[in-house]
Every structure is written in C-alpha cells, then in structure tokens.
Structure 1
C-alpha cells in the first residue's frame, strides 16, 4: 500500500465519536478518529513496512502516526528517526505509547530513554520515562542495567511530586513496570511505590485516573505475573 492508499483507508475507517474522544484527550486536527482495533486491521494488510511508517508519521495525522508506530521495523529504525518522532509527538498517545513502544523494541531504547528524561519539554521527558518502563518489559534482566534502574527508582522517589503533569504519570508507570518486569528490583520498586503513595495527575475532561502504584503491583503479584516479559512493547 502507498501512503495515499493508506490514508484513504484510514479516512474511510474514521469514527466521529472516536474522534471526539481523542480530541478531548489532547489530539488535534488532522485526524479521522480511527479505533485502534481498526488500525490493526490496516496493519494486517501492510505488516511491518518501515518506509511506509516513516511516510505516515510525517503526515502529522494522529491516526497515521499511531499506525506508523505499530508498523515500523524495530531492527531498521535509527536513533535519528526516533528522535524526529519524539519531537513530533504532540500529545500523550504519541509521546507515551507510539514512540516509546517502538523505541523500547529497538536497540536504542535505553540510551534514548535516558536522554529524553533530561528534556525540559514535558512530553519528551514523559516519553523517556515511558520508554525506560517499556524497555524493562521486553528485554531480559541480564541485559538490563540493574543499578541504573535502581538509581532511576531513587530519582522518581525524589522528584515525582514536583514533576510536570504527564511526567508524573509516566514516572508512576515506570515504578509499576520495573516492579512487574524486573524480578531483581521488585522489592525495591515496591518500597519506592510505598514511599511515593498517591500521585495526583490532572486528566482534564476525562474519566481517567492515575493508578496507585503499590496496589497495581500487588495485583500483578497476585496473578503470578512478576518477572514475565512481553514479546513486544507494542499492543
């Protein structure tokens, strides 16, 4: 499929209510309001197509950008491409899901995550924490910088309540992810979760809530899922 054919299909799949919901969460024009389930139907046709993914992301259409993240090839994506993508991720669906997922699946995730969390732009900093969280979920513990992750947990404990809105949210998710996926750090991350307690994040005109990290981790533990890695960060 060409970029024009793909965009035409996305337009045909657009849903007014979905578009309204996405815009309430922060999406802006242009977008069609395509449900994720329908994006995945398009993905079945294109499969991984890195060149097409790059073209779709450049359109600036949120639906196309989200699809691009699912379609991109983690083995082909470069640091430069990921940097361009994070700079173009203008709302949290893109900055906390699309870009972090493909970054985490790639070999560049940890290094870029560490760079991005230092950004003075909240969306990029949030992308960094989300990338580091996802990276822990898809890479074997023996390949992870365990002490680096421990130091990041300490940093979250010190900084989370003063951090910008979406950065707070992704820091909280980082603690949950490390506790859930990195067995060696589960106990340490649980302690961090208990120390930070409830995290207040303004969600705007939505019904979304910030999970209490300590409770979320206990649920993961109760179902016996601690340490179980994901095959891919993308879903």
Structure 2
C-alpha cells in the first residue's frame, strides 16, 4: 500500500461528504456525512487491505474508520488492540460495525466478552453483552444461561440505553433459542417492560423482548 493510495482513499471519502447525511446521522449520535452504501462500494473495490485499514483507523475520522472495519483482517488484531479500538469508538455506528464485522470474527472474542461485560464504561459493557447475545444464539454450550437471566433481571431496568439494549437482546435470544428458559425470559421481559413502547415500523419485529420472542418462536413453529 502506497501513500498515494491512502491519500486517494481519503480524498474519495472527503468528496462523498454530504451535509444532509451528516445532519441525519448526528441525530443518532454519529459524526460522519458519508452514505454507507457508497462506503461499502469503496470497500468492495479495495477488498481486504490490513495495512490500509490500520492507516485509515489511525486518522481518527469516523468515515475512515468505518471503511477500515470493512477492509481489515480481524484475525490479525491482538486483544489489546481490539480493546483500544473499542474504547476509541465513540460513534454508535462505528461500534456496531466493529462488533459485528471484527470482534465477532476474532479468536479473542470470548476472552474480550468476559472482560467487558462488567466494564464501568457502558459502551464497553454493551459490546460484551452484544458478544454474549451472539454466543447465546450460535454457541450457547458452556454459558450459564440462568445466571445471565439473573443479571438481566437485576440490572437491565436501570441500565443506560446502549447497555440496556444489548442486555435486552441477550434476554430475547435466550427466550427464542431455549424452550426450557422461555417462560422465565418472557416473565422478566413483561415485568421489566423494557422497550415495550419502542416505536416499531409496520412489518418489523418489536425489540420488546416478549413480543420478539413470541414472534420468532411462532415463525419457527410455523416453518
């Protein structure tokens, strides 16, 4: 990767900056003005380039870091690097992409999940719970699911927004995938009422855990 390539990519990102997109993103807490579909087009053209990804991340610019997430090689990062990257990810969209496109694919995911779940930084803790929800859905063997429900029952109601969302996702995943714990998961969701009034567009599944669980289980049973 040459300096010219790096500078050309930065120039391309700068040219995509749209004040209207930035304004819409700022309402959601994000600080970039690049259309994400256009960003993905750049990533598809560049393909995997770890060195370029590292240079883009080092800029500190959110759009550049989003692109870095798409073209990096997750297995090349060590746990300390990933911890630093997460703590540097202030924008919600950047954290979402980092968790889904990098952290879930790294061999360090389990160790980081355990280290992050009780972190005092709510963004870091929420990433730990997002990794937990993913493991509940894909590889639950070895997890203390009743213990997770205990923690959710005790802490989710008063958890800050992003952390609350991730804990709620874990609650729903437990209820959807584990029939023996479904009644308890539904009961916790109903008593706590978290996200019960969340505005949900037509034909979309509500994030309210009891509605989410019942919808997904109904689909499974009807398949």
| Equivalent-residue separation in structure 2 for 1:74 and 1:83 (angstroms) | 13
Which structure shows the higher helix fraction?
2
Give the 3 Å change call, closer, same or farther, for CA 19–186 of structure 1 in structure 2: farther
| Number of residue pairs aligned between Structure 1 and Structure 2 | 211
Structure 2 alignment gaps of length 5 or more: none
Q: Which residue of structure 2 aligns with residue 13 of structure 1?
A: 16
Deviation at 1:135, TM superposition (A): 4.0
Deviation at 1:189, TM superposition (A): 5.2
Cα offsets for 1:55-74 (capped at 9, x unmatched)? 22222211222222222212
**Does 1:146 find its partner at 2:149?**
no
| Equivalent-residue separation in structure 2 for 1:16 and 1:186 (angstroms) | 48
RMSD: 2.7
| Equivalent-residue separation in structure 1 for 2:87 and 2:148 (angstroms) | 23
Give the 3 Å change call, closer, same or farther, for CA 176–71 of structure 1 in structure 2: farther
Q: 1:176 aligns with which of 172, 193, 201?
A: 172
* Aligned pairs for 1:126-205 within 5 A: 126-137=126-137, 139-141=138-140, 144-147=141-144, 149-180=145-176, 183=177, 185-188=178-181, 191-197=184-190, 198-200=193-195
Give the 3 Å change call, closer, same or farther, for CA 6–178 of structure 1 in structure 2: farther
Question: Which 4+ runs in 1 deviate beyond 6 A?
Answer: 207-210
Larger-gyration structure (1/2): 2
Deviation at 1:157, TM superposition (A): 1.6
Residues 43 and 70, structure 2, Cα contact 8 Å, conserved in 1: yes
| Equivalent-residue separation in structure 2 for 1:88 and 1:17 (angstroms) | 25
TM-score, normalised to structure 1, is 0.77
| Equivalent-residue separation in structure 1 for 2:22 and 2:57 (angstroms) | 18
Give the 3 Å change call, closer, same or farther, for CA 70–188 of structure 1 in structure 2: farther
Give the 3 Å change call, closer, same or farther, for CA 127–62 of structure 1 in structure 2: same
Deviation at 1:159, TM superposition (A): 0.8
Structure 1 alignment gaps of length 5 or more: 226-235
